[in-house]
Amino acid sequence: MELTGAEVIIECLKAEGVDYVFGYPGGAVLHIYDAFYKQDDVQHILVRHEQGATHAADGYARATGKAGVVLVTSGPGATNAVTGIATAYMDSIPMIVITGQVPKHLIGNDAFQEVDSVGITRPIVKHNFLINDVNDIAETFKKAFYVATTGRPGPVVIDIPKDITAEKVAFEYPAEIDMRSYNPTVKGHNGQIKRAVDMIVKAERPMIYSGGGVILGNGSEQLRTFTRSLGYPITQTLMGLGAFPASDPLSLGMLGMHGTYEANMGMHHCDVLIAIGARFDDRVTGALEKFCPEAKIIHIDVDPASISKNVKVDIPIVGEVAPVLDAINAQIGQKGGKAAAEQTNKAALEKWWAQINEWRAQDCLKYDRESEIIKPQFVIEELHKVTNGDAFITSDVGQHQMFAAQYYGFDKPRRWINSGGLGTMGFGLPAAMGVQLAHPDETVACITGESSIQMCIQELSTCKQYGMPLKIINLNNGYMGMVRQWQEFFYEKRYAMSYFDALPDFVALAESFGHVGIKVEKSSDVRPALEEAFKQKDRLVFLDFITDREENVYPMIPAGAGLNEMILV
Amino acid sequence: MVYEEDNSEAVEMKHIISILLENEAGALSRVAGLFSARAYNIESLTVAPTDDPSLSRMTLVTTGTDEIVEQVCKQLNKLVDVVKLVNLTDDVHVERELILIKVKAENEQRDEVKRIVDIFHGHVIDMTNSTYTIEVTGDSEKIDALLKALEGITMLEVVRSGQLGMGRGDKGIV
């Protein structure tokens, strides 16, 4: 039986096990929407803006590890999706974005709602395709899902001219795909692994620095085994939080610009740095010439281009985190029949931990817990208690994001969902929608601020349509907090354009969308309000916390400084 | 050039890179776009289909420190359309470039230009009463030397193909 191109697309999505597509209709994709109408296998979630669709698919992907799928129309549909595609690209999130295109004979004609979607998205995708023939749809989808989800994952755009979606073809989905130009490395090189193991067990001042790659590569279990068997200190990047439990005494918390004192000092003074699925981002390293001056560096990463990009490493291991750590764990386990901890330099480690504990005693995340004015950090700590530290937390970008990363204490992978690389304000609410759909019975909260939330606030309407019982934690200080903080530190408090003279009444706003709104203005009301909100299992509750207006995120490494040059409170 | 520090690794060198890539629409712009997006230099770039029509072969000349060129090669290899990449500079190889030059050639200059063309083993491939169009192939040093030799002559038009490269020996890139 022959199917239309549009029906073939649906069949491809079914074959890939896609349960949700986030999208917004328009002229160029009407055949595809008609095909959606005629089936029940793949559910379409109608967002209110295409940026919301990409972030929702992204949140879904981060929470599940499966590719998120987006469907948008040509022209403005595609350009509105660009921010979300770039967000996914920077954080290596698997995503398929189907963009409608004008009919083939009009391409290049400046037709209505025509843009060169493949050209516009080229620098922000892992790969993209323009389908020219209805016979190519199935194979292209197979390739797209394969490329998006393997190796270092990333978004893939498929641009489909409208006429092709109406043409008929016999459908057959390829069982396997072989691409001569694309063969990601899975296992690490054995010789390199041996050299790394030697260096690891001999370390006197070791430090494990793990990143988002551990979560993307499902290597959390292996990382726990590795770290605990050796008893080495571990610090995690913003993207890596949760891969190793924050509550474990071996965890030094996050590193980098707003990392803990003990993590950053540990980085600066370590003699062996074990980087796992992390990419030495500028917010992590600080000034490169001052980075880890005494360390030999081992770097495990699936992407060879990440290795020695910013920091020259001594032992590179290209491969997926999980199989490489499995191999390392096995080799340490087999060495002379002794347990891993027996092989390490015990005396040196004892000294190293004593030093780390001295740094820890600085208690760099302390703040005024008795304050009557609501401290943003206090809200996060209370949120942790009310949700038993087990919620899925999405965030927007700014101070609230850093507070969430510092104070929530993630113990499980895929629970902390934020835009780390691109730093996209407006990410949190739509991302939370994707997470909630992926895990309908789990608690999902979006930690945001009054500036970020306004960037995709329209998605409150989507939440109502699909009954998504999100909890929105709005840390409302009236400022673009992080911008204001930089202006305070580096521009002599000239708060240029970082203050809103008019803010909506968020409670009334939430109510107008059919949700529950609660305004909280005193510290003593924080806990009861949170408890009240999380009791409402089937309602979206928007909590508007009026917080300390000029609280800053500490500690902080100013731009151009080394990790040992932090500003403490 | 004077450097503030004596850091031999920071010396910029010319590299000639050969790339086999899928002969598909957009493959060239992926490569070109990568260079502009990551602020790498391209000195020249040539591309055409090979004996296998599904593959194009590109020769790309870039300059950079060893670290930068290593990154360039890794990023190029990461492009899904790139099938194989070889930095020819790492090993012995041959390089050829074609140049076409239209020069003014009148009176006694007609003989002078013809002599230079012969010395460089080139050809005159088009002529008018007042001009010659000449063709010379060679490595880039030879082409540069030719241009220097023609300094006294009025050049009306110059077009260079960019360099092609191939490793010496009995092995090929496949």
Distance linking the first and last C-alpha atoms of chain B: 39
- What pLDDT, on the 0 to 100 scale, is given for residue A337? 66
* Res. B174: pLDDT tops 80: no
pLDDT at B9: 55
- Contact by Cβ (8 Å): B87, B64: no
The per-residue DSSP string of B75-133 comes to HHHHSTTEEEEEEGGGS-EEEEEEEEEEEE--THHHHHHHHHHHHTT-EEEEE-SSEEE
Quick check: B50 contacting A, CB < 8 Å?
no
Query: How far apart are the C-alpha atoms of A130 and A108, rounded to whole Å?
Result: 13
Q: Does B90 touch chain A (CB under 8 A)?
A: no
Please tell me the pTM assigned to this model. 0.95
Hey, are the CB atoms on A122 and B21 less than 8 Å from each other?
A: no
Q: Check residue A365 and give its pLDDT.
A: 97
Nearest by CB to B22, which of A118, A181, A307? A181
Which of B22, B30, B78 faces A122 most closely, judged by CB atoms? B30
Mutation site, A104, A121, A177, A181, interface B, largest B CB count within 10 A: A181
Is B114 an interface residue toward A (CB < 8 Å)? Answer: no
Contact B48, B89 (CB under 8 A): no
Handedness of CA A16, A19, A25, A27 (dihedral sign): positive
* Best B78, B81, B173 residue to mutate vs chain A (most A CBs within 10 Å): B78
Positions of chain A with pLDDT lower than 70, given as ranges:
335-337
- The predicted pLDDT at position A342 comes to 81
Which of B67, B71, B81 lies at the smallest CB-CB distance from A305? B71
* ipTM at complex level: 0.90
Q: Does B78 touch chain A (CB under 8 A)?
A: yes
User: Minimal CA–CA distance to A316: which of A294, A334, A296?
Assistant: A296
CB contact under 8 A, B82 and A181: yes
Band of the pLDDT at B1, cuts 50, 70, 90?
very low
What pLDDT is attached to residue A335?
Answer: 66
CB contact under 8 A, A122 and B70: no
Using the beta-carbon criterion (under 8 Å), do A304 and B37 form an inter-chain contact?
no
Dist CA B45 CA B163 (whole Å): 7
Contact A127 B80 (CB under 8 A): yes
